Amino acid sequence: MKKDYMTRLEGWARWMLPPQEAEDVIADYRDIVADDELRRGLGKPREVIAPLTTKKAYRVWLAVFAVMAACILIPADSPLPLGLYPVWYTLFSPDGFIIPGVPMFLWFMITGLALSLIWFRPRRGEGKAPLPRSILIVLAVLLAVMGLIWWTFWQITLYPDGALANPVFLLPYGFWWPLADIYVGGNLLSFLLEWSAVPLAVVGMTGLVKARVRDRRWRAVYFLSLSVMMLAFAVLALLTSMTVSAEPLDTWRLCIEITVIGLIGTGVSLC
């Protein structure tokens, strides 16, 4: 009971207070929670922390969090039943440029990366703690998904007939597979690429929250999730449009840009 209460109190303290203040409050309340009589006089963890917050600082944090969340949730909203379907299309459309020549996906990626690096920057005097294993596991899975999307794109551009006829396994053209006779075109591929945004958004938001309440290096999970989502949408644009990234060479350039920015940003986020 004590451990559960303290865990929740730590979470709320780190969510609602600036990092150093949160650690000071947590240190103070450990002794209080350890005493059964004193702990009984405490309210719910959120009620304990709320009076200690500075409203202005907390509102600034919520505003920054909202912008970072929007960078990954707005594109991910596209495939949902009530979603804004054209959003992912606009990411790569010339008509969607805020500034001519700068595609929309760059604004989402750069804004998310810049804010996460600035907000979750190392505190003064903070030591270099070992990287949590959970972060490495999640990043490894995301990198595997990124590799799978690249494999899909490679098959589409080099072996279009084989890839579209066998979109589940994406075997090279001419490779025998019993299900290859069931031609489903690019519909299944488009569905998988489009709906991959939903789990990627969930993983990314988890990383964003944990960067605040656990370890700031969870920001790497947030940014890599965003990058993988943009990569999936770049390939999706090639599959579903005759005008947006219709040329494979253009899509190669977009995919390389997204991958390079994603990997470099993820590496910096782990520092």
User: What CA–CA distance (Å, rounded) separates 110 from 38?
Assistant: 47
Q: Of 37-51, 70-84, 164-178, which range is least confident?
A: 164-178
3-state secondary structure 201-254: HHHHHHHHHHHHHCCHHHHHHHHHHHHHHHHHHHHHHHHHCCCCCCCHHHHHHH
User: What CA–CA distance (Å, rounded) separates 230 from 234?
Assistant: 6
Please compute the mean of the pLDDT values over residues 154-167 and round it to a whole number. Answer: 60
Higher confidence at residue 238 or residue 98?
A: 238
Closest alpha carbon to 143 in 151, 153, 132, 154? 151
* pLDDT of residue 98 exceeding 60: no
User: What CA–CA distance (Å, rounded) separates 6 from 16?
Assistant: 15
Closest alpha carbon to 12 in 53, 59, 69, 40? 53
* pLDDT band at residue 170 using 50, 70 and 90 as cut-offs: very low
User: What CA–CA distance (Å, rounded) separates 149 from 200?
Assistant: 13
Q: What is the pLDDT of residue 34?
A: 75
What token pair was written down for 261? 């920015």
Query: Which 3 state secondary structure label does DSSP give 236?
Result: helix
Q: At what angle do helices 197-213 and 187-195 cross, to 10 degrees?
A: 10
Neighbours of 34 (CB within 10 A): 11
pLDDT one-digit tens code per residue, 65-79: 999 999 999 888 866
Please compute the mean of the pLDDT values over residues 7-31 and round it to a whole number. Answer: 89
Cβ(112)–Cβ(226) below 8 Å: yes
Identity of residue 91: L
pLDDT one-digit tens code per residue, 187-215: 667 778 888 889 999 999 999 999 999 99
Question: Count of alpha carbons within 13 Å of 8, Cβ hemisphere only?
Answer: 12
* pLDDT of residue 169 exceeding 60: no
Closest alpha carbon to 113 in 194, 252, 202, 230? 230
